Amino acid sequence: MEENQSSLIATSIGHFTNDGLTGVLPLMYPVFVASYGLSLQTISLLAFLQSAFSIFVSPLVGRISDARGNFGTMMALGLTLFALGTGGYAVAGQLSQGSVLLVLLLAFTFMIGVGSSFYHPLGATVLRAKWRAQDLGSALGINGSAGSLGRIAMPVAAAVLIAGVSLASTGVLAIVSIACAAGILVILGRMEFARNGAKGSESFMRALFPPGQLASKLSGLTIVSFARGLFTGVLPFIPLYLTQLDNYSALQAGFLYSAALGMGIPSTIIFGFLQDRIGAKTSMTISNTGGLISLFGFTLSQNPAIIEASLLCFGFFSYSAFSLLLGMVHDLTRYEEMTSGGALVWGVGNTGGSAAAPLLVGLLALPGFFGSLTAGFVAAGLIGVLSVVMMPFIHSSPVTGRTEASP
C-alpha cells in the first residue's frame, strides 16, 4: 500500500478515536450532576481545564514533533493519555465521593487535556507530508469525516451503556481507544518524515512561545479560530441543555447529541470539496455564518422541530473546521513550521475559545447573573460573530518558497 494511503488510514483512525472520546465526555456530565451532586459550575471548571491544559501543551507538541519527525509516536502517546483520562472519568464515581472524587477528576482532567492536544496538528502534518498539495483538501476532508464518524459511534455507544448498564461501563471505550493508538504506532512507525533541523533542547525551551514571525503571520487566523472555538465550545453543554431546559430524557438527549455530532460526516467531506474548489477562506466564512445562525435558532426557539433541526445544522457547520483552519495554515506556512502553526491556530486559538466557553456559560448560569444556560449560549454566539467579521482581513494566498515533502 502506498504511504499516502497508509497515512490517511492511520490518521483517520486517530481522528475517529480522538473525536470519539471528545464526544463521550459531555454525556458523562448529566450523570455527575444527577448522581454525584456536582454543580454546573464544577462541570464548567472541569471542561475549562481540559482545554486550558491542552492550550499549554499544544505548542510544545508541535515544536517537538517538527524537530524530531516522530509523528506516529507522539500521536499514539496523546491518544493513550486521552483514553486513560476518559476511562478515569468513567470509573471515578465508583472509587470515591465528595472532595476525593473532585481530586480524582482533576487528575483525569489533566490527562484528558494533555492527551487531546496531540492529534489535530499532528494529523494535518502527516497528511501534508504524504499527499500532493492539489489533493490535500480532499484528504483532510476524508480524514475529518472519520473524526465525525467517531463522534457519532462512540457517543451512541456511551449513551446506550450509561442508560442500560452504568457510567463505569463506558470504560470499555477507553480500552478500544488504546488499541487504536497501538495500531497507529505500527503504521506510522514505518514511515520517515522530514525534520526541521532544530535541536531537541532548543525546541523544548522555545516550544511554549511560537516564533514572533509565525505568530504575527497567523494572528488574524488565530483570532478567528478563537471566536469560532468559543461559539462551538458550547457543544459539551448540549446534553445538559436538552435535559434541563428542553425536557428531553437522558437517552433522547444522548441520541440527539450524537446525531448532531454525526452531521460532521457529510460536513467534512462537503467542505473539503469546497475548499479545493472555492478556497478555504470562503468556505470558512460560509461555515462560521451557518454555525452562528443555527446556534441562535437552537437557543431561542421553543419549538421541538426547530430545536432539533437547528442542532443538526449546528453540528454540520461546527465540525468543518479541521480541514478549513488547517488548510489555511497550509497556505500561510512552510512545511517545516506547519505543525507549529497548526498548534498555534488550533491548539491556542480554537482550543482557547473552547476553554473560554464553559467559563462563560458557567458564570452566566450563576443565580447572581442570569441563572440559565441560555444566556451563556447567546453570549457565546454574539462573541462568535467576530469569526465572520474578521475573515476579510486574513491574507490566505500561498506563501512563497514553501518546501513540500514528497508525496
Give pLDDT tens digits for 335-383. Answer: 667 667 777 787 778 878 888 888 898 889 888 788 888 999 999 999 9
Q: Is the pLDDT of residue 400 over 60?
A: no
Distance from CA of residue 210 to its chain's centroid? 21
- Output b/e per residue, 371-381; b: 16+ Cβ within 10 A: ebbbbbbbbbb
**244-254, pLDDT tens digit by residue?**
888 888 788 88
C-alpha cell at 376: 451563556
**128 vs 385: which has the higher pLDDT:** 385
- Please compute the mean of the pLDDT values over residues 301-311 and round it to a whole number: 92
* Residue 205 confidence class, pLDDT cut points 50, 70, 90: very low
Please enumerate in sequence order all residues whose Cβ is within 8 A of that of 117, keeping only pairs 6 or more positions apart, or say none. 53, 54, 55, 57, 58, 61, 78, 347, 351
Question: Between the CA of residue 265 and those of 15, 80, 316, what are the distances in Å?
Answer: 12, 24, 8
Whether 11 is covered by a domain: the verdict is: yes
Please state, in angstroms and rounded to a whole number, the distance separating the CA atoms of residues 337 and 131: 17
Its sign, for the CA torsion 39, 40, 46, 49, is: negative
The whole-number pLDDT of residue 76 equals 92
Rounded to 10 degrees, what is the CA torsion of 140, 235, 263, 137? -10
Whether 401 is covered by a domain: the verdict is: no
Domain coverage including residue 74 = 3-393
Regarding pTM above 0.85, the answer is no
Give the position of cell 496531540.
Answer: 118
Please state, in angstroms and rounded to a whole number, the distance separating the CA atoms of residues 147 and 127: 15
C-alpha cell at 369: 447573573
Q: Is the pLDDT of residue 332 over 90?
A: no
CATH of the domain at 215: 1.20.1250.20
By three-state DSSP, how is residue 222 classified? helix
Please state, in angstroms and rounded to a whole number, the distance separating the CA atoms of residues 45 and 66: 32
| DSSP-assigned letter for residue 246 | S
**137 vs 147: which has the higher pLDDT:** 147
Cβ neighbours of 398 (radius 10 Å): 10
- Output b/e per residue, 157-170; b: 16+ Cβ within 10 A: bbbbbbeeebbbbb
Query: In terms of DSSP H, where are the helices of 37-132?
Result: 40-68, 71-95, 98-116, 119-130
Whether 404 is covered by a domain: the verdict is: no
Whether 33 is covered by a domain: the verdict is: yes
Whether 406 is covered by a domain: the verdict is: no
| Positions of E strands within 301-361 | none
Whether 399 is covered by a domain: the verdict is: no
Please state, in angstroms and rounded to a whole number, the distance separating the CA atoms of residues 24 and 101: 19
**44-101, pLDDT tens digit by residue?**
899 889 878 877 777 677 667 666 667 888 899 999 999 999 999 999 888 878 888 8
The whole-number pLDDT of residue 380 equals 92
Whether 403 is covered by a domain: the verdict is: no
The amino acid that residue 370 corresponds to is: F
- Number of folded domains that form the chain: 1
Phi, psi of 402, rounded to the nearest 5 degrees: -70, 140
Whether 129 is covered by a domain: the verdict is: yes
The whole-number pLDDT of residue 182 equals 95
